[in-house]
Amino acid sequence: MPPPSLATVGLAECRRQTDDSTLRLLTSFNAVIPCTSAELPLPCARSLTERTPFMPKTTTTFPETPSAASRQLPHLAGQTAHPAATDLHGNIENFIGMARVPVGLAGPLLLRGTHAQGSFMVPLATTEGALVASYSRGMKAITSSGGVAAHVLAEGVQRAPYFKFKDLAAAGRFVAWVMGNTAAFQEVTGRSSRYARFQQARPIIEGNSVTLICEFTTGDAAGQNMVTICTHHLCQFILKNCGEEVQACYLESNASGDKKANFQSFQHVRGKKVSVELELPAAVVQSVLKTTPENLERFGHAAAYGSLKSGTIGVQAHCANGLAALFIACGQDAACVAEAAVGIVRLEVTPAGNLYAAGTFPNLIVGTVGGGTHLGTQRECLELMDCYGAGKARKFAEITAAVCLAGELSILSALAEGHFAQAHASLGRRKQ
C-alpha cells in the first residue's frame, strides 16, 4: 500500500509523520504551521483538535480561502497520469518527462489587502531545507500581529523596440510623431490582443537612434508573450506610417528590463508594484521571531549598509528564495525571479516599542491565466489560494508581496540573533 499523501491526510497527519527532532527545532523557532481547523484550509483524516503535545492551543480563527476548503489535490498527490506532449503545446518542446519538485505549505498568512483578504496557505516548491519552515515562521508572526496590509500601486509590462535614423533631426521628428499617435497605438494593440492595453511609449534618444519603452497592461496574464506580439504589430504600423526613413528596427533592444534586475524597473514598475506593511507587537517579535524590535532595527541598518557596499538594487535579504519556490509551484515564469527579486524592506521601532515592517516590490511579474498556470499541479497550487483564473492576478500579487515580507522577517531575525546557521545545519542537510 502506498504511503498516505497530502491530498488524503492533510497537514495534521504530516506533522505526525515528521521526525521528532525536526518538530522540536521548528517549535524552538516558532516556525510551526497552523493548529486549528480554521487556520488549515485542507481536508484532514483526523480532527485537528488532536494536537501533538508541543502544539500550543489557540483560540484565534481566520477566514478560510473558500476554494481551498475540502479541496482534493490529485495532481500534487501523484494520482494522475503525466500529460502527453500534445497537452503541453505552448509550454515545452522535445518533451521527455516531468521534473518533480517537492511542494510544501507555508502559513497561515493573514492579509488585509485591497484584493487579497483572509488567511492563506501558500504552496512553495523547493529542494532547500529550512525554507518552508522559515517562511512559515514569518507568516506566523504576521498572522499573530493581525495580518498585513497590501496594495497594488501600479501595473505595466514593457517592450523596448529600437529605431535608427539618418541623423538626430530625423530622430527628433520621429519622437514628435510617436507622442502624437497614442490613440493609434492603442487601436493597433486592441486589434492584436483581447487583454493587452497600450499605456504609453517613453522615448530615449541617443544620437540618431530612438528606443521606445512601450508599456502595456496585460490583464490577469504575466504578459511577456502578449506584449511581444503587440509590440511587433506596433513596429509594423510605425514603419509604415511614421514618415521617416528607418535604417534599422529591432523589436527588443534589451532595454525593457525583461528577466534582469535593473534600475529602470526598480524606479518604475514591471509587472505589478505592490507595497505591504504591518506593525508587529514587541511580544510577537519576541515569542515568534525570537528577537526584539530594537535588535531587528539595528541589524536592518547593518544589512542596508551591506546592500549599498555590494551594489544591490534595493534593500532585501532573500526575496528570490520565496519567489522562486512560489513561481515554480504556481506555474509562473521562473526566470522572472531575476527581476522580481528586488525591492525595499524597512524595519523600524515604533514609539510604542513595537516593530513597523514594510516592503515595496515593484517588479512582480505574476499571472493567474496563461503560461504554466493551467498545468495540473500548478493549477492546484493556485487554487489553494483561490488565485486561479480571470480576476485573480492582483490578489496573487498581493499574496506574493506578503510572502516576500514574511521571509524577510524570519531570516533577518535569525541573522540578528545568531540562529541562521543552526537552522540550516538541522533542516538543510539530508540525514544519512
Question: Is 158 exposed, middle or buried (CB count within 10 Å of its CB: 0-12, 13-18, 19+)?
Answer: buried
- Whether residues 128 and 51 fall in one domain: yes
Q: Which ranges constitute the DSSP H helices of 252-366? A: 263-267, 282-287, 293-310, 319-329, 337-340
111-120, 174-183, 363-372, 415-424 — which is least confidently predicted?
415-424
Q: Is residue 186, in this structure, part of any structural domain at all?
A: yes
- Whether residues 147 and 174 fall in one domain: no
Report the CATH number that the domain containing residue 228 is assigned in CATH.
3.30.70.420
What confidence score (pLDDT) does residue 120 get? 98
Q: Name which of 376, 401, 396, 377 is nearest 386 in CA terms.
A: 396
Question: Is 294 exposed, middle or buried (CB count within 10 Å of its CB: 0-12, 13-18, 19+)?
Answer: middle
Q: How many domains does the chain have?
A: 2
Catalytically annotated residues: 128, 333, 424
**Angstrom distance (rounded) from CA 282 to CA 289:** 10
Tabulate helix, strand, coil % of the chain (nearest 5).
40, 20, 40
Percent of the chain clearing pLDDT 70 (strictly above): 82
Which pLDDT tens digit goes with each residue over 194-205?
999 999 999 999
Which pLDDT tens digit goes with each residue over 374-394?
999 999 999 999 999 999 999
- Whether residues 142 and 288 fall in one domain: yes
Q: Is residue 179, in this structure, part of any structural domain at all?
A: yes
Report the CATH number that the domain containing residue 351 is assigned in CATH.
3.90.770.10
Q: Is residue 183, in this structure, part of any structural domain at all?
A: yes
Of 201, 226, 255, which closes a domain? 255
Statement: residue 26 has pLDDT above 50: no
Of 223, 255, 287, which closes a domain? 255
The arithmetic mean of pLDDT across residues 325-334, rounded, is 98
- Whether residues 175 and 121 fall in one domain: no
Domain containing residue 199: 161-255
- Whether residues 77 and 15 fall in one domain: yes
The arithmetic mean of pLDDT across residues 64-81, rounded, is 75
- Whether residues 353 and 309 fall in one domain: yes
- Whether residues 250 and 189 fall in one domain: yes
**Angstrom distance (rounded) from CA 157 to CA 115:** 20
- Whether residues 117 and 203 fall in one domain: no
- Whether residues 211 and 282 fall in one domain: no
Q: Is the dihedral of CA 412, 111, 272, 355 positive or negative?
A: negative
Which pLDDT tens digit goes with each residue over 346-375?
999 999 999 999 999 999 999 999 999 999
The identity of residue 39, as a single letter, is E
- Whether residues 123 and 249 fall in one domain: no
- Whether residues 207 and 115 fall in one domain: no
Which pLDDT tens digit goes with each residue over 299-325?
999 999 999 999 999 999 999 999 999
Q: Give the confidence band of 423 by pLDDT, cuts at 50, 70, 90.
A: low
Q: Is residue 120, in this structure, part of any structural domain at all?
A: yes
- Whether residues 108 and 78 fall in one domain: yes
**Angstrom distance (rounded) from CA 128 to CA 121:** 19
Which pLDDT tens digit goes with each residue over 135-172?
999 999 999 999 999 999 999 999 999 999 999 999 99
Statement: residue 414 has pLDDT above 70: yes
Percent of the chain clearing pLDDT 90 (strictly above): 79
Q: Is residue 1, in this structure, part of any structural domain at all?
A: no
Statement: residue 212 has pLDDT above 70: yes
The arithmetic mean of pLDDT across residues 233-259, rounded, is 97
Output the pTM of the full model: 0.84
Assigned C-alpha cell, 344: 525595499
